[in-house]
Amino acid sequence: MYEVIAILNPNVTNELVEQKISDWKGIIEEYSAELHRIDRWGKKNLAYEVKKFHQGYFLLFHIDREHAIIDELERRFRIDDDVIRYQSVKLNELELKSSVEL
């Protein structure tokens, strides 16, 4: 299980966020991965400036599959101008339980 956080440009519209989520879901399905959860945390302040932004739109994904899907998602995040930062973490059982409880 992987936890993927993507931070988008804070100026994105809700329609664009939903379109990006739909696109990323399509990629996840292409790789026969299972998407357990998507959380839209919304616009939050950043701890430090990233690409001249002080805020970002946060998305959280829980994906169950091999590492290949994570590589592809990260590749797409890198070339997407609206994604200002991302991070992928492989969760172990203990981290998974605590993460799901949030």
Q: Report pLDDT digits (tens) over 35-45.
A: 988 999 999 99
Phi, psi of 101 (to 5 degrees): -70, -25
Q: What is the pLDDT of residue 95?
A: 56
Strand-pairing partners, residue 35, are: 63
Q: Which band of pLDDT confidence, cut at 50, 70 and 90, is reported for residue 21?
A: very high
Question: Is 102 a residue whose pLDDT tops 80?
Answer: no
Strand-pairing partners, residue 90, are: 2
For residue 38, with 0-12 CB atoms within 10 Å meaning exposed, 13-18 middle and 19 or more buried, which class applies? middle
**Token duo for residue 71:** 């590589």
- Residue 25's contacts (CB-CB under 8 Å, 6 or more residues apart) are 35, 38
Question: Is 66 a residue whose pLDDT tops 80?
Answer: no
